[in-house]
Amino acid sequence: MSLLRCIECQSDFPTSQRIYTCPKCSGLLDVVYEVNEFQGGHLTNAWDQRRASPKSVDRSGVWRFRELLPEAGEAEIVTMVEGNTQIWDAPRCAEYAGMNRLSFKHLGMNPTGSFKDLGMTTGVTQAGRLGATSVACASTGNTSASMAAYAARAGMKAFVFIPSGQIALGKLSQALDYGAVVLQIDGDFDDAMRLAQEVANESPLYLLNSVNPFRLEGQKTIAFEMMQQRGWQAPDRVIVPGGNLGNSSAIAKGFHELMERGVIARMPKITIIQAEGANPLYRMWLRYRDREGADDLKLEPVIGATTLATAIKIGNPISWPKAMRGLRWSAGGVEQVTEQEIADAKAMIGRDGIGCEPASAVTLAGVKKMVAAGDVNPDEDVVAILTGHVLKDPDFTVNYHAGALSYVGKTGEKVALESRYANAFAHVPAERDAIMKALGF
């Protein structure tokens, strides 16, 4: 049996109630489960057996773990057999970061190319259980692409609010192709998010941003699947990009539940990396670490957040209280990285034959910085989470390799980035000799 519980005032509400935050105190809600016979080896045996099943709900990297998910009948589940994403060793990236080894779990290998699918399978399933026929979200791109796909699978209407001209083209093209109604808002993500919440409170639209706790239940299975792939041995540290802070919160909850159920003995340190121009959690973390007021600190939004990693261009993240909880549970931390560091790290992830979108590359940039500062030991067992596929934002990649990447700085000035690991194009006349010469023969 699952319940909704406010993380602030601890009030409980039934999961059949259509609420996004606590009706009493506006706190964020968790889905919680009564502790039952599902513990330790019982869980892992059932979960391991399902990997060999021919059924979609068993093979899904989310629903495979359904003992710790909100109840849903098999016919109600909207799944694209998401998850099942690989963990890859990245030796060049490890060397780049100064680590002895480093691995990536690439959530960009999900059906729509980002980790959002893990949350949308549970979110859209819950929408159906509540009788919703239309769903909505604000998005920097991936949430809208994923919601549009899952809504289409479920026969629901999708409405997406995106900051005009500020999302990567791959993501926009997906939302259009999957049939969503796309509203380009003249504002940034924080404006779109505020408006989507206001509209959802006054209309039949069911909101599927990560403020919705059912989304995060799907995303917490990132921790479950990672542990299953590693034979239930936790790494020392898990590195996650931070934008609206839903994913880092969800992963922390996943590890915490595994610990509570006796599946793992300790939590990996959850380490969140933000872009320097969109770093409200990092700023808050510095104040928290310095113990100025400790637990009653509030996040101060960054107005006009800026970064070329548009997925995480967010100044007022909704889930910050849950992200802080995850940091406390796991003795984790927060780091920030520059635009140059993100661009170079992304190119290095490409060199390992893996590739990712810019927001995902903050992970490698963050580890490198933390190793250099002595905050991460080169011997640590670290898994970094890549959140989006390399094809999501081809403009960024091509501009980097063409030496043409630039961003607008805080005072409106254009700042050119160096393409330190560029793989430049060769322009060659359409002649055999010229080609042989260009090839070096």
Shortest gap between Cβ of 107 and ligand F0G (angstroms)?
8
Cα atoms in the Cβ-side hemisphere of radius 13 Å centred on 235? 28
Closest CA to 142 of 397, 405, 407, 357: 357
Q: Judged by CB under 6 A, which stretch of 179-187, 236-244, 375-383, 396-404 contacts ligand F0G? A: 236-244
| 103 versus 310: smaller Cβ distance to ligand F0G | 310
> How far, in Å, are 280, 369, 372, 393, 427 from residue 365 at the CA level?
18, 6, 11, 18, 31
List binders of ligand F0G among 43-72 (CB under 6 A).
Answer: none
Note whether 212 binds ligand F0G by CB under 6 A: no
Alpha helices in 164-212 (DSSP H): 169-177, 189-201
Return d(Cα 219, Cα 75) in angstroms, integer: 21
Shortest gap between Cβ of 359 and ligand F0G (angstroms)?
4
| 167 versus 227: smaller Cβ distance to ligand F0G | 167
Among 61, 218, 246, 254, binds ligand F0G (CB under 6 A): 246
Total site size for ligand F0G, rule CB under 6 A: 23
Note whether 247 binds ligand F0G by CB under 6 A: yes
Give phi and psi for 136, each to the nearest 5.
-145, 155
Return d(Cα 259, Cα 331) in angstroms, integer: 14
Q: Judged by CB under 6 A, which stretch of 147-155, 242-250, 293-301, 406-414 contacts ligand F0G? A: 242-250
Among 213, 243, 280, 315, binds ligand F0G (CB under 6 A): 243
Shortest gap between Cβ of 379 and ligand F0G (angstroms)?
27
Among 21, 44, 110, 114, binds ligand F0G (CB under 6 A): 114
Note whether 312 binds ligand F0G by CB under 6 A: yes
Shortest gap between Cβ of 232 and ligand F0G (angstroms)?
25
Note whether 242 binds ligand F0G by CB under 6 A: yes
| 246 versus 277: smaller Cβ distance to ligand F0G | 246
Cα atoms in the Cβ-side hemisphere of radius 13 Å centred on 341? 19
Helix 40-50 vs helix 221-229: angle between axes, to the nearest 10 degrees? 80
| 44 versus 110: smaller Cβ distance to ligand F0G | 110
- Residue 347 tokens read as 């190119």
Shortest gap between Cβ of 162 and ligand F0G (angstroms)?
8
Under 8 Å between Cβ of 362 and 344: no
Among 210, 271, 306, 336, binds ligand F0G (CB under 6 A): 210
| 332 versus 388: smaller Cβ distance to ligand F0G | 388
Shortest gap between Cβ of 76 and ligand F0G (angstroms)?
25
CB-based burial label for 373 (10 Å; 0-12, 13-18, 19+): exposed
Q: Judged by CB under 6 A, which stretch of 9-17, 245-253, 338-346, 410-418 contacts ligand F0G? A: 245-253
Under 8 Å between Cβ of 106 and 88: yes
| 57 versus 147: smaller Cβ distance to ligand F0G | 147
The β-bridge relationship of strands 157-163 and 181-185 is parallel
Note whether 316 binds ligand F0G by CB under 6 A: no
Between vectors from CA 251 to CA 321 and to CA 218, what angle results, nearest 5°? 105
Other beta carbons less than 10 A from residue 357's beta carbon: 31
What are the beta bridge partners of residue 388? 114
Note whether 311 binds ligand F0G by CB under 6 A: yes
Note whether 139 binds ligand F0G by CB under 6 A: yes
Shortest gap between Cβ of 385 and ligand F0G (angstroms)?
8
Return d(Cα 201, Cα 366) in angstroms, integer: 37
CB-based burial label for 296 (10 Å; 0-12, 13-18, 19+): exposed
List binders of ligand F0G among 421-440 (CB under 6 A).
Answer: none
Among 2, 44, 125, 142, binds ligand F0G (CB under 6 A): 142
Note whether 280 binds ligand F0G by CB under 6 A: no
Return d(Cα 319, Cα 322) in angstroms, integer: 5
What are the beta bridge partners of residue 28? 21
Shortest gap between Cβ of 424 and ligand F0G (angstroms)?
26
Contacting positions for ligand F0G (CB under 6 A) = 114, 116, 139-143, 210, 241-248, 311-312, 357, 359-360, 387-388
